[in-house]
Amino acid sequence: MAKYVINGKNRLEGAVTISGAKNAAVAILPAALLVSGKCRVENVPDISDVHILLEILKDIGAEVSWEDNGTVILDCTGVTGTKPDPELVCKMRASYYLMGALLSRFHKAHVALPGGCNFASRPIDQHIKGFRALGARVVETEEYVNMKPGPNGLKGARITLDVVSVGATMNIIMAACLLPGKTVIENAAKEPHIVDLANFLNTMGAHISGAGTDTVKITGVEKLTGGTYAIIPDQIEAGTYIAAVAAAGGNVLVQNVIPKHMDCITSKLEEMGVEFINYDDAIQVISEGQLQPTTVKTRPYPGFPTDMQAQVCVCMSIADGTSRLTESVYETRFFGYCTELASMGADILINGKTAIITGQSNLQGAVVRANDLRAGAALIIAGLAAEGTTEVENIHYIERGYEHLVEKLTALGADIRRVED
Ligand code: UD1
């Protein structure tokens, strides 16, 4: 078991380069199953979730190679397996994308239910609703989902999602790509990684329009062929470094970002007193004085992302006054880290969907435990801002989604080490 040991109170200075988006990569790599030919995918983050996915794909017959510069060459032409290894599938959340991709390509799939971060009940009923609307006969058990064509075969359909779901929108896009006819997804999610998946598939020959709006249209094609595609920068990784600078203080150039994707995060931190200068593909973050309290409500994109809830909570914990943080996507998400933050001196009162955070002049180092990916990222930020030494345990969650975290923070002047226990 490894842990991060952080000595806090170092200002962050210099530049950090953001990696490719985790939530785009974990969809685009399985989407390569739809392609007959070689996909060259650039800007792939070197994180454990990506490695697990590539293992799964290799295991069912894909040819996979990594190049040093974050490029993955994937050829799924020879894939025959439609039952990915359940032990690997259970290790991560995004393995649910194998369902849509295998259904589209092979018209059948037998996929174990996904694992990953369990900060809330995370149903996949909207994914299943979509597959059924496309004509699949779906059998669900407590362990797996099995799909094959229903009596009328598989074809495009109109689907209105009951809730705005990132995963369901992307899974249905994949499932519809190679089916005859037109599919329309209403009440679709609009996150940047949905646009990225659609751009990847369109580069390979798919006909998808409207990604990034709440209506996505897919006209099925017979075949996708190979090509080259570069994944967008990670909005949440960038937001995490921005929150780290906000909390620890400093002046950092966050490079390789799409500033438009960051507006929902930077606008809130600006209210807290952080200064931002936007460039074409970089943001200068300056945090010199005392943070001010604010009010944040998480929302699907273009709202404030739930995946930044925990990181902004740390900033609120050291602001000069009382902040309110309301979660509207995953209600139980506070429980993943608030007790840990409280052990560092934070004053957080959870009242249903809202946390009321009374800012403290300082947090104190403590031994804390990461209970999920973003909760873990927040504890690292708390450790950077706190007096004394913080030990963050259970870091396998954090390594699921942050590439070269220790190296990047160390280059900014942080005192952080990865220690094998
Ligand atoms: C994705 C992200 C995750 C992020 C979340 C919300 C990936 C791999 N993960 O997760 O980091 O926190 O989006 O931005 O991209 N829901 C249902 N039924 C469904 C699907 C979802 O009720 O079939 C509900 C969920 O419980 C939740 C809301 O819809 O309340 C949004 O979930 P969704 O957008 O699907 O999240 P994920 O795709 O699992």
Local confidence band at 88 (pLDDT 50, 70, 90 cut-offs)? very high
Evaluate if residue 319 carries a pLDDT over 80: yes
Average pLDDT over residues 56-77: 95
Asked if the domains 2-19+233-420 and 22-230 are classified in one and the same CATH topology, the answer is yes
Local confidence band at 63 (pLDDT 50, 70, 90 cut-offs)? very high
**Structure token pair of residue 265:** 């995060």
For ligand 1, the distance from its centroid to the CA atom of residue 166, given in whole angstroms, is 6
Q: For position 122, what pLDDT does the model report?
A: 81
The tens digit of pLDDT for each residue in 181-206 reads 999 999 999 999 999 999 999 999 99
Is 72 in contact with 53 (CB distance < 8 Å)?
no
∠ CA 287-288-294, rounded to 5°: 60
For ligand 1, the distance from its centroid to the CA atom of residue 168, given in whole angstroms, is 8
Local confidence band at 253 (pLDDT 50, 70, 90 cut-offs)? very high
Local confidence band at 252 (pLDDT 50, 70, 90 cut-offs)? very high
For ligand 1, the distance from its centroid to the CA atom of residue 165, given in whole angstroms, is 5
For residue 193, the surrounding DSSP H or E stretch is helix 192-203
The residues, ordered by sequence, that sit 6+ positions from 56 with a Cβ below 8 Å of its Cβ are: 84, 85, 88, 89, 95, 98
Local confidence band at 308 (pLDDT 50, 70, 90 cut-offs)? very high
Q: For position 183, what pLDDT does the model report?
A: 98
22-230 maps to CATH 3.65.10.10: yes
**Ligand 1 pocket by Cβ (under 6 Å):** 23, 26, 93-94, 122-127, 163, 165-168, 189, 305-307, 329-330
Q: Which CATH superfamily is domain 2-19+233-420 in?
A: Enolpyruvate transferase domain (3.65.10.10)
The residues, ordered by sequence, that sit 6+ positions from 35 with a Cβ below 8 Å of its Cβ are: 76, 77, 204, 224, 225, 226
CB-based burial, 23-39: b 16+ in 10 Å, e otherwise: bbbbbbbbbbbbbbbbb
Specify the 3-state DSSP secondary structure of 87. Answer: helix
Evaluate if residue 347 carries a pLDDT over 90: yes
Ligand 1 atom with minimal separation from the 120 CA: 26
Evaluate if residue 117 carries a pLDDT over 80: no
Average pLDDT over residues 43-71: 95
Evaluate if residue 116 carries a pLDDT over 80: no
Q: For position 68, what pLDDT does the model report?
A: 82
Evaluate if residue 121 carries a pLDDT over 80: no
Q: What is the share, in percent, of the chain residues with pLDDT greater than 90?
A: 94
Is 398 in contact with 373 (CB distance < 8 Å)?
yes
Q: For position 69, what pLDDT does the model report?
A: 87
For ligand 1, the distance from its centroid to the CA atom of residue 126, given in whole angstroms, is 10
Q: Mean pLDDT score of the chain, rounded to an integer?
A: 96
Give the domain ranges of the chain: 2-19+233-420, 22-230
Ligand 1 atom with minimal separation from the 191 CA: 14
Average pLDDT over residues 363-383: 97
Average pLDDT over residues 228-255: 98
For residue 59, the surrounding DSSP H or E stretch is helix 48-59
Q: What CA–CA distance (Å, rounded) separates 21 from 239?
A: 12
Residue nearest to atom 29 of ligand 1 (CA): 165
**What positions carry a catalytic annotation?**
117
Q: What CA–CA distance (Å, rounded) separates 217 from 184?
A: 5
Candidates 165, 231, 298, 331: which one to mutate for ligand 1, based on the most atoms within 8 Å of Cβ?
Answer: 165
Evaluate if residue 114 carries a pLDDT over 90: no
Local confidence band at 3 (pLDDT 50, 70, 90 cut-offs)? very high
Is 370 in contact with 395 (CB distance < 8 Å)?
yes
Local confidence band at 1 (pLDDT 50, 70, 90 cut-offs)? confident
**Structure token pair of residue 400:** 């699921």
Is 143 in contact with 149 (CB distance < 8 Å)?
no
Q: What CA–CA distance (Å, rounded) separates 412 from 384?
A: 11
For residue 254, the surrounding DSSP H or E stretch is strand 250-255
Q: For position 119, what pLDDT does the model report?
A: 63
The total of other beta-carbon atoms located within 10 Å of residue 14's CB is: 12
Closest CA to 95 of 30, 173, 39, 163: 30
Candidates 48, 113, 122, 172: which one to mutate for ligand 1, based on the most atoms within 8 Å of Cβ?
Answer: 122
Evaluate if residue 296 carries a pLDDT over 70: yes
